Amino acid sequence: MNADGSPLKFKLYHKSQSGSATNRFTENLAHTILIPRSQKAQWLHNAGSVLKIVFAIWGGILAAKLSVNILAGFIAGSVYGAACCYALYYFNGVHSKFFTSHKHPVVKEYVAQGFKTHESMIDGNQIQKVFSYLIKMLY
């Protein structure tokens, strides 16, 4: 496929220390990598994001109507939307931006230099990291 669509913006982070010997501080530097993709992939990625959001809202509304936990409805709708989205990708021969962007050669090169993804930069417990990973995967 031709890379005629707008590129996918993938962010990697790096902790940098600067300052003098007595006054050191650490900051997270973000670097955006542009991954080429076709117009078809760009359109399907956008449509997939809309599908997941619409089904999450629909699940929340349906849960409210049925007097069930609204958060559970949002989650169930989001999971259903994600399943529809990944089926859409599969039948159109497009790879998921979430699962394949880490495999791009330029991304691998930056990771080898010490750059990390957002999930690996979280200074928290494992539950926070898993929750962040799931949110990013669903949206």
Q: How far is the C-alpha of 99 from the C-alpha of 109, rounded, in Å?
A: 17
**Residue 139 confidence (pLDDT):** 54
**Residue 1 confidence (pLDDT):** 58
Using the Cα atoms of residue 118, residue 123, residue 126 and residue 131 in order, give the sign of their dihedral: negative
Res 9 pLDDT > 80:
yes
**Residue 118 confidence (pLDDT):** 64
Which residue shows structure tokens 């859409």?
88
pLDDT in tens, 10-40: 888 887 777 666 776 666 677 888 888 889 9
Q: Is the pTM of this model over 0.85?
A: no
HSE (side-chain half, CA atoms, 13 Å) at 56: 16
Q: How far is the C-alpha of 131 from the C-alpha of 137, rounded, in Å?
A: 10
Res 122 pLDDT > 60:
no
**Which among 27, 32, 28 has a CA at the least distance from the CA of 12?**
32
pLDDT in tens, 48-99: 989 989 999 999 999 999 998 998 999 899 889 989 999 999 999 998 888 7
**Residue 80 confidence (pLDDT):** 93
Q: How far is the C-alpha of 116 from the C-alpha of 20, rounded, in Å?
A: 25
**Residue 111 confidence (pLDDT):** 84
